[in-house]
Structure 1
Amino acid sequence: MRASISTTVNRQAWDREARLALPHDRPMAPGRVEWTQYPGHGPSTELFGDVNGLTVAELGCGNGDNLAPLAARGAHCVGVDLAPTQISRARIRWGHLPIQFHCGDARVFLTRTRPLDICFSIFGAIGLCPPEQLLPLIAQQLRPGGRLLFSVPDPTWLGPRRALMRLADGSHVPVARWLSGLEGWKAAVNAAGLHHRHVDSILTPDGDATCCLLVRAQKPAAERDG
């Protein structure tokens, strides 16, 4: 599937998902960062460390829930999402926090934003657009020593659902995904000029299958003169 077609498909899918949830949105209080498909399961904000004063961007931020805990800890947060209604939801839920939300393609955003200390994606842009296009842009925009963290669904967990997403009303919409296993994501991260630090398989709450892959990488620090 061509990148332009996949962009349209994914924008329509997540916009439709957001329209179903929009009537129920209201201002919220920050919770935890959810890296997996199961709320309350797996790691949370501890993966970021101290974010006070750092510039943090989420690519494919959806309703903004995963940015809010970082903003509450003093990070300068920016969220970008392809779907306009997702950004509308995020502004309703988190307009009382100092988070900048932008509607647009993450690849375009990365060519225009200021340097980033941390970039992350949770079932977001990474995995939903071509990684050979997105990952090098992330590497370019990170400051030396900056970090990339992302989670993506495990291909076996998705199974035949990889090309469809089930919505809250029971309907299904097509989606375009770029799936890989642990070794594939390691190779993609390294090819982009980043160093993978941790690549983990996260099990489902009952422990009988892998639900997602969690990747942590870092841009090499600048070499000192002399």
Structure 2
Amino acid sequence: MTDTATAWNTYSSQRPERRPVNAAGSTTWFNWSQYPDHGPGPDLLDLRPGDRVLDLGCGKGGNAAHLALQGMTAVGVDISPVQLSAAEERWGGTPGLHLRQADAVTYLREDDEPFAAVYSVYGVVWFSDPAVTLPAIRERLRPGGVLAFSQRPAVEGCYGCQASYIPRGEDEDPLVVKRWDYEPESWERLLKKHGYTDVRATVLDAPPGKRKVGALIVQARA
């Protein structure tokens, strides 16, 4: 299996930078799906100014920076130094934003401060074993705290641990990482099994005119 940091460093080099402003003219915003200016915002996290929030697999930091500028203490964790370098370049110095290079589960187990919310946008919850990750997140959420995550919906009949491929050069084999795909009902059962309540899992349709898949969005409370 591909080294995780190497895989996400490679992925980072293939991703475009976040736009300077969104359709509303804002310089920061929260995005759950793969489509710009589409879907719900940070209200899914039920945060208040001053709350502590954790982004698992923060990538280049845009979502975490938005929450920090809304008055939250936002911690972004990513295993890729390339991703975090890009985040520091654009968002470094943002009040309330703290970026950490670490394996997500290791970070969850070693830090002991609680969070009001933990989220993952096409990130760690998709690319780590839920039997390990979900209990680790729950231990770090304060009572009533929110876990929310998004990922591509599962392909019918392809459930559980799957191979995900990150392309490289023409003469190189793609890098391989694991991901975990489930239908909404299966995610609901998994979360309840690990002690979460108020679980909701739905698929957000793609924007009109797009013949592409939507985004699975899951929300639960500790």
TM-score scaled to structure 1, two decimals? 0.82
For residues 213 and 26 of structure 1, the distance between their equivalents in structure 2, rounded to whole angstroms, comes to 23
**Alpha-carbon separation, structure 2, partners of 1:26 and 1:36:** 15
SS of the residue 1:136 aligns to: helix
The answer for unaligned runs of 5 or more in structure 1 is 220-226
The residue matched to 1:127 in structure 2 has which SS? coil
Q: How many residues get paired?
A: 209
Identity %: 31
Per-residue Cα deviation, 1:154-201 (whole angstroms, up to 9, x for no partner): 1239x8x962235799x8542321111101111111122111432111
* Alignment-derived partner of residue 111 in structure 1: 109
CA drift at 1:20: 5.1
Q: 2:217 aligns with which of 214, 217, 224?
A: 214
Code of the residue aligned with 1:211 in structure 2: it is G
User: Which whole-Å CA distance do the structure 1 matches of 2:219 and 2:149 have between them?
Assistant: 7
* Distance apart, 1:121 and its partner CA: 0.4
Moved over 3 A (4+): 19-22, 24-30, 165-169, 207-210
The structural deviation recorded for 1:135 is 0.3
- Structure 2: unaligned runs, 5 residues or longer: none
Instruction: Name the amino acid aligned to 2:101.
Output: C
Question: Where does residue 222 of structure 1 map in the other structure?
Answer: none
Q: State the SS of the aligned residue for 1:108.
A: helix
**How big is the shift at 1:208?**
5.4
* CA deviation map 1:42-98 (0-9, x unaligned): 111232344301000000000001111111111011010111111111111111213
User: Cα gap change, 1:37/1:120 in structure 2, threshold over 3 Å: closer, same or farther?
Assistant: same
| Larger proportion of helix | 1
Change (3 A) 1:66 1:134: same
**How far off its partner does 1:112 sit?**
2.0
- How far apart in 1 are the matches of 2:85 and 2:56? 16
TM-score (norm 2): 0.83
After TM superposition, give the deviation of residue 13 of structure 1 in Å: 1.9
CA contact (8 A) 2:47 2:117 kept: no
Matched, 1:163 2:171: no
1:93 correspondence with 2:90 = yes
Distance 1:33 1:101, change over 3 A: same
2:100 is matched with which residue? 102
Deviation at 1:210, TM superposition (A): 4.3
Change (3 A) 1:198 1:168: farther
Q: Is the 8 A contact 2:149 2:217 kept in 1?
A: yes
Deviations 1:94-131 (A, max 9, x none): 11213111111110110122111110000110010101
Number of the residue aligned with 2:40: 43
**AA paired with 2:5?**
R
Aligned equivalent of 1:18, options 12, 25, 38: 12
